[in-house]
Structure 1
Amino acid sequence: MSLLSTTATIIDAPIQGAVTDWPYLEMLTRFALALALGLLIGLERERRKKEAGLRTFGFIAILGAVGASLGDNYAYIVLCLTGLLTIFLNIQDMRTHSGTELTTSAAMLVTCIAGILCGKGHTLTPAAIMVSSTALLAWKDILQGFSIGLTEGELRSALLLAILGIVIYPALPVGSIGPMGLIEPRAAWATVILIAGIGFVNYVLWKAFGTRGVAIAGFLGGLVNSSVTVNELASRVGLHASGAVAAAAYRGIILATSAMLMRNAVILALLAPGVAVAGGGALVAMLGASAFFVFYRRAPAHVAVVPQDAPPSDQIVLPFSLWSALKYGLIFLVLHILGVLTQKYFGNVGFYLVSLLGGAVSSASAVAAAASLAADGKLTLDAAATGAVIASLASVAINLPFVLRVPNRRFVLSIAVAMGVIAALGLAGMLLGESLASLVTGHFPIISLYQQGP
């Protein structure tokens, strides 16, 4: 046997635990992806003039892919070799620069693991890991500036919010507990998380964008809970708030009310179109009034004289108050119990009272309940529409006390006028709702089919 044939036999001999029959195109795709991801993060390291750059990260990614293709044992060996390489890099850097390259070392290990995933046939997972890792490296200055500018109170608030949602909420029992199933711990705690979350998001937007972020926070917060959003925005308008702060809060509060009305209308349209038609007159009237106050009426400016010892006008308080969140959760729990009992013993009148109380806490839940009962044939079109409108009006009315505590009289008067007009048009639309529903269902009989039970 010739030397050439002997060498070929040795090369082609199967390695224990290795894959010997590799599909060429498939393996080429895996190696190409690993190389591309390694070059991506290596490019960032090269631009920062690090010891390990473009070629090093490319080699590490390919080495990981080849090791994974040979088998798990080879993948572990490659990972260990990469670890030894990082140790050598740090020792060499300490000798020359009196420092360490911990970030680059961590990036090398991540690159090796991503290469191993590519070698095993994964695509999206290693790509997501490497893109995220490259972003962390590229955004070094931004992240450092953010962490340096973060106050101790803001950090505590973020950790507290995480504890409320991640630690406590999953530990609460699922469903109703207690006599007659009146208590729903998770629903009550979800209200606490909601209040804290909206306050935190609003705080972040306010700090990042100033008064420009209030409109965004107002509308998005109104889609979740308008009362909480209005309370949060109103708390920003103190005696010494600037005109820009008062105007932004005014616009945000009206936008929160508009978002609440839009959300309720969409819920009705999806769950029970007939109820949406019956209550459409009131909802459209209130939406029209809200749009007028947002886009056409000039927002109020603050005219109070600021004393010389007044605090800074744009001072921002902490993201949220834990006591305030717990207080709203307790109120929600009490109203839920009263609503269930009232509905059980007083029938239709009890439903209206439930809608009123539910609208004061969460109009979305009250509107969804009205639409669901009507769709099941347990409520008439008029009763369901009336309950939905009552819930929406209650949500508008409950916001006024939050505004009345603001020491800016002109601001309070402007909000009170806007909410009064919105509520008055809602009541007028509710009175005309039955006639509008009869007119529409008369021309489009198919809509009335949604009101029939199963």
Structure 2
Amino acid sequence: MTDPHTIATAAQPIIQIGMSLPDAQWPYIDSLTRLGLALALGLLIGLERERRGKEAGLRTFGLVALLGGMGGLVGDNYAYLVFIMTGGLAAFLNIQRLRTHASTELTTSAAMLATCIVGILCGKGHTATPASVMVTITALLAWKDRFANFSSGLTEAEMRSALLLAILAIVIYPALPIGAIGPWHLIEPRAAWLTVILIAGIGFINYVLWKIYGARGIALAGFLGGLVNSSVTVNEMASRAKDNHPETISAAYRGILLATAAMTIRNACILFILAPTAALTAAVPFAFMLLINAAWFFMDRNATHTTDNHQVGPVELPLPFSLRAAFKYGLLFLLLHIAGVITQDSFGELGFYAVSLIGGLVSSASAVAAAASLLTGNSISAHVASTGAVIASLASVLVNMPLVLRARNRGLIIRLSLAMLSITVVGIVGSLAAARLLPLLVKEVPFLAQFY
């Protein structure tokens, strides 16, 4: 009779070998969904590589992503094995490339390894992360020429500006103290610096788009210029209408309206990012302002005879970032923040509105950020903050009206003056309507109370 202990000992290696293989019952739909997402993302980047005539194209990247997805489903050990195999495939691709050409396929190899990792993430059940990563990688590959032209055209001053912005955002911001400081607790260094980074970041992205696309059309010139500084853009556009040529006048008219719309959108985004609880109240007047702006834009008599390819010349933008700009935005934000707190305590809401009006004449973006900061610090309500942001934006619209006089064209000046006045009026009406109607709406829909 055989000893049971001997049987168990002899069977142990067999059991261990069997346990090294996956024996779980996978849900069919879930597994198929994960593999389908991996395959779709691999085909996306493979399509871009195929279009450029690379040796590793649609099928190769699809298979690599699918292989990674299966590795993620099976387990970590198999995922590591799949990644190593993909690395070997990339090495083999470069060896073959060196035999027939004088260069390697480093970019394609890196994309192949990234595709494998994305497939593994899909196999493990991730969705948004691998999808966003793959879309970003595909965009980087597809915009190769634009990025190359942009990089080769960078000046030393522009490079220093980019590095300075990175230092201020990554190095200095984390080192700043958290919360209010000072004897009266009026200054919040992190809030002030975050505002500087946000405003400068918007300007930096706009500057990059400007460098890539140039001023090839009036829509691009007016809108991108308005994101950075609407007053500078309005001044430049109005000065070009001095020749009284119909197409130039139409270009200046549409460019100034687009710059005004861009300023409104920028201020709305700053408020929504820094103080989302004020979003509901501010959305009404901002929407009214943009609608009337769009109506005046499409009322241009010469709009059907001009195209966005009409050359209007570049708007001279400042460098994307500089210490002077940082100190300007930061100092103005602190002054408006302190003035807002003091006037709110001394004169109530009217005092804060007066500060928002004055701040909007200088820098509406800083005034909006200051209103959001006061709301975050519980110094004012969401309604007061949104009203102050709208007042600052309307002040920015009105301060541009004298700049229109540079056009020296009576018809253009009258049309733009009417447009800006109507934008101001509907902004005020929108604020009053929101103040009256939103409380009633919140009572009917309690879910909206968290935004009001």
TM-score exceeds 0.5: yes
Secondary structure of 1:344's aligned partner: helix
1:314 aligns with 2:319: no
Q: Distance in 1 between matches of 2:42 and 2:439?
A: 64
> Cα 1:194–1:99, aligned 2, differ >3 Å: closer, same or farther?
closer
The one-letter code matched in structure 1 to 2:183 is: P
The one-letter code matched in structure 1 to 2:257 is: R
1:138-287 matches, within 5 Å, as: 138-203=142-207, 204-205=209-210, 207=214, 209-217=216-224, 221=227, 229-234=229-234, 236=236, 243=248, 246-247=252-253, 249-255=255-261, 270-271=280-281
CA contact (8 A) 2:231 2:400 kept: yes
Q: Which residue of structure 2 aligns with residue 89 of structure 1?
A: 93
The one-letter code matched in structure 2 to 1:230 is: S
1:376-387 matches, within 5 Å, as: none
| Partner deviation per Cα, 1:338-374 (whole Å, 9 max, x = no partner) | 343344345577456445445445464788889x999
Aligned residues: 398
The one-letter code matched in structure 1 to 2:335 is: V
Q: Once the 2 structures are TM-superposed, how far is the Cα of residue 415 of structure 1 from its aligned partner?
A: 6.6
1:341-380 matches, within 5 Å, as: 341-346=342-347, 350-351=351-352, 353-360=354-361, 361-362=363-364, 364=368
Q: Which residue of structure 1 aligns with residue 7 of structure 2?
A: none
Higher mean C-alpha deviation, range 141-150 or range 77-86: 141-150
> Cα 1:233–1:188, aligned 2, differ >3 Å: closer, same or farther?
farther
Q: Which residue of structure 2 aligns with residue 334 of structure 1?
A: 335
> Cα 1:120–1:445, aligned 2, differ >3 Å: closer, same or farther?
closer
1:77 aligns with 2:81: yes
CA RMSD of aligned residues (A): 5.6
- Unmatched runs of 5 consecutive residues or more in structure 2: 1-12, 272-276, 303-311, 445-452
Q: Distance in 2 between matches of 1:174 and 1:137?
A: 40
Higher mean C-alpha deviation, range 356-365 or range 78-87: 356-365
Q: Once the 2 structures are TM-superposed, how far is the Cα of residue 169 of structure 1 from its aligned partner?
A: 3.6
1:84-163 matches, within 5 Å, as: 84-163=88-167
Q: Which residue of structure 2 aligns with residue 410 of structure 1?
A: 408
CA contact (8 A) 1:42 1:55 kept: yes
Q: Distance in 2 between matches of 1:444 and 1:127?
A: 38
Q: Distance in 1 between matches of 2:358 and 2:178?
A: 24
The one-letter code matched in structure 2 to 1:21 is: A
Q: Once the 2 structures are TM-superposed, how far is the Cα of residue 332 of structure 1 from its aligned partner?
A: 2.8
Q: Once the 2 structures are TM-superposed, how far is the Cα of residue 213 of structure 1 from its aligned partner?
A: 1.6
The one-letter code matched in structure 1 to 2:114 is: V
Q: Once the 2 structures are TM-superposed, how far is the Cα of residue 295 of structure 1 from its aligned partner?
A: 6.0
| Partner deviation per Cα, 1:263-308 (whole Å, 9 max, x = no partner) | 99xx9994499xx9xxx9xx98x99997897566889xxxxxxxxx
Q: Once the 2 structures are TM-superposed, how far is the Cα of residue 178 of structure 1 from its aligned partner?
A: 1.0
Q: Distance in 2 between matches of 1:409 and 1:339?
A: 36
Q: Distance in 1 between matches of 2:46 and 2:262?
A: 46
| Partner deviation per Cα, 1:223-261 (whole Å, 9 max, x = no partner) | xxxxx6323424645978984775455334554677699
Query: Out of 19, 22, 25, which is 2:25 matched to?
Result: 22
Q: Once the 2 structures are TM-superposed, how far is the Cα of residue 180 of structure 1 from its aligned partner?
A: 0.6
Higher mean C-alpha deviation, range 288-297 or range 139-148: 288-297
> Cα 1:106–1:410, aligned 2, differ >3 Å: closer, same or farther?
same
Secondary structure of 1:111's aligned partner: helix
Q: Distance in 2 between matches of 1:31 and 1:325?
A: 48
Q: Once the 2 structures are TM-superposed, how far is the Cα of residue 375 of structure 1 from its aligned partner?
A: 7.3
CA contact (8 A) 1:268 1:367 kept: no
